[in-house]
Amino acid sequence: MGTKSIRHIVEACLQTYLSAEAGLAGVAIYTGDSLDENVLPKVIALCDSARAPGDLPEGLGNYLCSVRLSVFSNADDTTLADHRSRCATIDGLMSNRTALQAVFTASEDAFMYDITLGSEDEGVQERSWATSFSYHILAVLPA
């Protein structure tokens, strides 16, 4: 197994994947531990936790990662319809398991088996539209 944290690997792969999408041009994509000054519109990819999956043996590098993608758009210069369109793009991208697996494989840091949507929640925070997607990503570190 490598020396990188599975949480950092997952966040970096999601940042790479979302940053390459033309439909998200102009949207800043950050990882959970990014030190960059955040600007709107933005997406923050945060791997909240990683644990051994209940149905796989521990110690083999398998992880069930809880991931949150938080999408923020400035409510002063973005309509709710535009924000939701951005979110639909992200939802479509995250539904493409094959493309996501390719990004993980290309990273050579981990392999992704599967992804499932947990929930999508929306709200308004301090003059911004905010939507949070939660996912479960099943991944393995290479031996």
Q: Supply the mean pLDDT for the chain.
A: 92
pLDDT at 1: 45
Query: For the chain, what is the largest distance between any 2 Cα atoms, rounded to a whole number of angstroms?
Result: 50
Tally of domains in the chain: 1
Rounded to 5°, the CA angle 90-40-25 comes to: 50
% of residues, the chain, pLDDT over 90 = 76
CATH number for position 41: 3.30.70.1700
Q: Is residue 133 part of a domain?
A: yes
pLDDT at 3: 58
Residue 52 is part of which domain span? 6-140
81-85, 104-108, 120-124: which has the minimum mean pLDDT? 120-124
Q: Is residue 1 part of a domain?
A: no
Q: Is residue 136 part of a domain?
A: yes
pTM of the entire predicted model: 0.92
